[in-house]
Amino acid sequence: MAAEQSLLLEAGAKASLSPRTPRYSHSRWVIGVSCVVVVAIIWTFASVLVQYVFHDLGFNKPFFLTYVANSLFAVNLPLYYGGKYLGYVVPSSRQASARDTLVISAIVAPLWFLANFTYNISLNMTSVTSSTIISSTSAMFTFGLSIAYLGERFSYAKLGGVGLCMLGNSATVFNDSGNTTRDNVWGDVLAVFAAFMYGVYTTAIRRLIPDEGKVSLGLFFGLLGLLNFVCLLPLVLVLHWTQLENLSGLTSEILGLLTIKGLFDNVLSDYLWALAMLFTTPTVATIGLSLTVPFAIVSDFLFHSVSPTLVTVLASIFVIAGFVLINVTSEKAEADKA
């Protein structure tokens, strides 16, 4: 036990003492913001897919869904080592070893799983729009944690942007609280907790992986998926045997949809999101996910015939305005530091 604690402290110290991200450049910032936009689109359609599996196909197994999706990160391992063998991947001399990367993955993996698991449960209890808007609450947590642990500069403009996002979130919760279905309110509560966990693991990743040259993202995500697959498999079996999540209804169609969801919503989008966080700031990357709000409103209307209310539209405007304000302010701050 002492040896494990020593290893964790050693890896954390190495990461926290590493050089910060490369100097600011406008092109890196544009790439980072572009990654966020792509991630927002993927996340929205993935949320619709999850609700389809839960409700239309009757496979309401959020733990198993999260397990499969996160385990698919392991596909990065053969890609990483295959590329390394063929000479396409050449680790730099300052890049963390596989052992140190494994420790970082072990720290982040439970945070990552808990955030995704609670968010998937919330999708079963409330609308895509409500869950999406509330999940942007993570901006508030990320902002505070980034100031406390990452040395991100505080500014009233950033605080105002976070405040606008929070105003939109509060309006959504208030709107759902008038619904007679208690599941909507509990779904909102779970979405808020998921947002908190998103903020925690966002800060943890940036703390342990200061820049993409220090730790291979492919190796990091691959090991994260492998840990998820091995460590949580016994729990999946226990949930099946105790009938809490009986997998007898698992069909090839459902497994195929879960695989598609995992490859795009987890493997691809989370890799792009990690790049966005490293190319900009954790606060910008997290706030940027609020761009899923207008996409979610459209998806609820197209796939579930849920017309947006005035409160939902206003909440969306507040959230998007908050993203623009924080993005502009943060880029200026990074440019001034360069």
**Mean of all residue pLDDT scores within the chain:** 80
- Residue pair 163/322 in contact (Cβ under 8 Å)? The answer is yes
Work out the average pLDDT over 72-88: 88
User: pTM of this prediction?
Assistant: 0.77
CA dihedral 291, 167, 190, 220 (to 10 degrees): 40
Each residue's pLDDT tens digit, 21-50: 445 577 888 888 888 888 888 988 888 898
Work out the average pLDDT over 42-60: 87
Give the CA distances from residue 100 to residues 11, 12, 13, 262, 315, in Å, rounded to whole numbers and listed in that order: 6, 9, 11, 26, 42
Confidence of residue 178 (pLDDT cuts 50, 70, 90): low
CA 301, chain centre distance (Å)? 24
Domain map (residue ranges) of the chain: 22-333
Res 21: pLDDT: 44
- Give the 3-state secondary structure of residue 247: coil
**Burial of 27 by CB count in 10 Å (0-12 exposed, 13-18 middle, 19+ buried)?**
exposed
- DSSP state letter for 277: H
Work out the average pLDDT over 291-314: 76
Tokens of residue 250, six digits = 């698992």
**Burial of 56 by CB count in 10 Å (0-12 exposed, 13-18 middle, 19+ buried)?**
exposed
- Give the 3-state secondary structure of residue 24: coil
Work out the average pLDDT over 153-173: 76
Confidence of residue 169 (pLDDT cuts 50, 70, 90): low
- DSSP state letter for 221: H
Work out the average pLDDT over 332-338: 62
Work out the average pLDDT over 15-20: 39
CA dihedral 22, 28, 33, 34 (to 10 degrees): -140
Tokens of residue 143, six digits = 């902002």
Q: How far apart (Å, rounded) are the C-alpha atoms in residues 109 and 104?
A: 9
Which carries the bigger pLDDT value, residue 140 or residue 97? Answer: 97
Each residue's pLDDT tens digit, 215-235: 888 899 999 999 999 999 999
Residue 258 has pLDDT above 90, yes or no: yes
Confidence of residue 336 (pLDDT cuts 50, 70, 90): low
- Residue pair 69/266 in contact (Cβ under 8 Å)? The answer is yes
